[in-house]
């Protein structure tokens, strides 16, 4: 029997959508509830913190994979915050949801800045930058600059001033690292 016929045999009237299949389950799945999204954010934040620590250690040994995993987790968090904000809307039924969403957003911004500071210090102690360091951290510079634009108008809020100081330190060190790291196109 050919592979095509084997895949399509026995499907019958349901096509690939037989009762109990993944497609059928998605069709009948309940939409995500706001409390579930908050629980998912808490889990992702915890995972991001653990990955940040692991990445800071690995960078000292020129291993960037844990750092990339941290960046992926950060992107996952940003996407989930976006979904959460869509579910909550501008006038949520629970008045605590908007402040809680802000708290989670701020938590990952804080972790990102503090992790970047650790990465920067670890890399700055390395006399010769490994190939790929420049390209790896260019997007981190963009993230820091965008975050600075977001936080600067709020610098009078509690804790934002010190966070901006850490951000500026990270930015200064990372700019130096990117400037002295070999570019991939040079090889």
pLDDT of 42-84, one tens digit each? Answer: 999 999 999 999 988 887 777 788 888 999 999 999 999 989 8
Q: Which two tokens stand for residue 57?
A: 């250690």
pLDDT on residue 102 = 87
Residue 71: how many CA atoms within 13 Å on its side-chain side? 16
Per-residue pLDDT, 38: 92
Contact 170, 113 (CB under 8 A): yes
State the pLDDT at residue 13.
44
Residue 97 to residue 79: CA distance in whole angstroms: 17
- Determine the pLDDT at residue 3: 44
Query: Which residues have CB under 8 Å from 35's CB, separation 6+?
Result: none
**Cα–Cα distance measured from residue 27 to residue 5, given in angstroms and rounded to the nearest whole number:** 26
Task: Say which residue the tokens 């911004």 belong to.
Answer: 109
Structure tokens at 69: 């995993």
Would you state the structure tokens that stand for residue 91, as one six-digit string?
Answer: 């006038």
Quote the tokens at residue 77. Answer: 């968090």
pLDDT of residue 1: 46
> Does the reported pTM lie above 0.85?
no
What's the pLDDT score for residue 49?
Answer: 92
State residue 119's pLDDT score. Answer: 83
Residue 32's pLDDT is: 64
Query: Is 108 in contact with 145 (CB distance < 8 Å)?
Result: no
Q: Residue 93: what pLDDT?
A: 86
Q: Which residue stretches of the chain have pLDDT < 50? A: 1-15, 17-21, 23-30
pLDDT at position 185, please? 64
């Amino acid at each position: 029997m050919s592979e095509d016929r084997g895949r399509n045999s026995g499907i019958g009237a349901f096509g690939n959508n037989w009762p109990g299949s993944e497609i059928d389950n998605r069709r009948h799945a309940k939409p995500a509830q706001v409390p579930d999204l908050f629980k998912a954010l808490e889990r992702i934040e915890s995972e991001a913190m653990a990955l940040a620590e692991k990445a800071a250690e690995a960078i000292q040994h020129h291993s960037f994979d844990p750092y990339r995993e941290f960046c992926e987790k950060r992107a996952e968090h940003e996407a989930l915050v976006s979904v959460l904000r869509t579910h909550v809307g501008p006038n949520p039924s629970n008045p605590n949801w908007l402040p809680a969403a802000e708290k989670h957003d701020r938590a990952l911004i804080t972790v990102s800045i503090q992790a970047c500071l650790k990465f920067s210090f670890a890399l700055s102690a390395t006399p010769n930058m490994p190939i790929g360091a420049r390209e790896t951290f260019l997007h981190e510079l963009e993230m820091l600059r965008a975050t600075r634009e977001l936080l600067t108008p709020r610098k009078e809020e509690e804790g934002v001033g010190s966070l901006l100081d850490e951000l500026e330190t990270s930015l200064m060190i990372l700019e130096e690292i990117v400037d002295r790291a070999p570019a991939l196109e040079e090889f």
